[in-house]
Amino acid sequence: MMKVENIAIIGTGMAGIACAKALLATGNKVTLFDKSPRPGGRMSSRTFEHWIADHGAQYFTAKSESFKSVTNSWLTQDFIKPWLGKVVAYKNNQIVNVDNTVQRYVGIPAMNALAKHLVADMKVCFSQTICKIERVKDSWILFSKEQGQIQDSFDLIIMAIPPKQAADLIPKRITNLQEVCSRAKMLPCWTLIAYQDSKIVLPFDGAFMEENPFSWIARNNSKPARSNHESWTAQAHPEWSSKYINYTNQEVEPLLVSAFEKITGQSCTSYQSHLWRYARVESPGNESFILDKNSRIGICGDWLLHSTIEGAWTSGQMLGQQINKILD
């Protein structure tokens, strides 16, 4: 049995939120921290003038019975809706397959809105980049770049962040956790967000591609409850993104824009780009989450299970449930 009164969760992506939800359901005291001013992590959206674009996770699916039930509760609360856009495999300017088999869901009116709904009744400290954790007797003290020492102390810390960022925070002497983090390789993703004054004429709303540089492109305004203004998200293959990982946005944008214009046959009105340095795990590990009772550190995230919203949620939820089991 472990005595835990105050739990800190670093990261308000879907893993951190799921873990918090499980812990709060049994009456634990939980505080979440995120370096960003808003929740959702890689389930992220951008607004620009009158356009909205999902530039991280594009949609999610529900495979396990447990996640299907969570998804159904979000549907009834109007946090998400099915995306009924036409999704295809596209090669050499031709549709090679139409993918009708999968039910895809999106946040309303943007992917990150789901996270906003879910944390509404949680205690979250935004714009707090946790840069150091220190063990003092049986407690953990946190420090953030913005505030310095966080006033509360914690009995247990959950790292719901990508492995490189977790490794930077976990003290080097905790070698078992350092090893798990250093084994995981995350792949990057350069992303183009294209805003168009006129409709792009392509026979689909989302397409898996093989052509360089893109692996996926999608029409944001084909998703439910979006603005009517035409905006597209185009995501580059991990190999291509790795090749250009040290380039600046200004250097990469001409390459992404010209490749996108070649696919659409139309010139791009305006655009932005984003590098996801830790987009997806190359291959997940053997454990869905980690709970180290000696150091009182838990780790969860998509990179331990599967780089999807469902994978992140399941990892966080399983860690929360495991902690509930061993608390006195």
**From 56, 107, 163, 206, residue interacting with ligand FAD (rule: CB under 6 A):** 56
The CB-side HSE value for 286 (13 A sphere, CA atoms) comes to 1
If one asks whether residue 255 binds ligand FAD (CB under 6 A), the answer comes out as no
The angle formed by the CA atoms of residues 303, 121 and 70, to the nearest 5 degrees, is: 50
If one asks whether residue 160 binds ligand FAD (CB under 6 A), the answer comes out as yes
Cβ-count burial 140-163 (b if 16+ within 10 Å, e if not) = bbbbbeeeeebeebbbbbbbbbbb
If one asks whether residue 161 binds ligand FAD (CB under 6 A), the answer comes out as yes
If one asks whether residue 189 binds ligand FAD (CB under 6 A), the answer comes out as yes
Whole-number minimum distance, CB 220 to ligand FAD, in Å? 13
Q: Where do the H-state alpha helices sit in 184-285?
A: 238-243, 249-264
**From 21, 53, 60, 319, residue interacting with ligand FAD (rule: CB under 6 A):** 60
Residue 93 per-residue DSSP state: T
The CB-side HSE value for 246 (13 A sphere, CA atoms) comes to 1
The angle formed by the CA atoms of residues 13, 62 and 273, to the nearest 5 degrees, is: 45
**From 7, 41, 45, 140, residue interacting with ligand FAD (rule: CB under 6 A):** 41
If one asks whether residue 157 binds ligand FAD (CB under 6 A), the answer comes out as no
Distance CA 68, CA 209 (A): 28
Nearer to ligand FAD, 50 or 63 (CB): 63
Contacts of 264 (CB under 8 A, 6+ apart): 200, 201, 202, 232
**From 31, 58, 112, 314, residue interacting with ligand FAD (rule: CB under 6 A):** 58
Whole-number minimum distance, CB 274 to ligand FAD, in Å? 8
x/- binding map, residues 7-26, to ligand FAD, per CB under 6 A?
Answer: ---xxxxxxx----------
Give the binding site for ligand FAD (CB under 6 A): 10-16, 33-36, 41-43, 56-60, 129-130, 160-162, 165, 189, 191, 235, 276, 279-280, 301-302, 307-309, 311-312
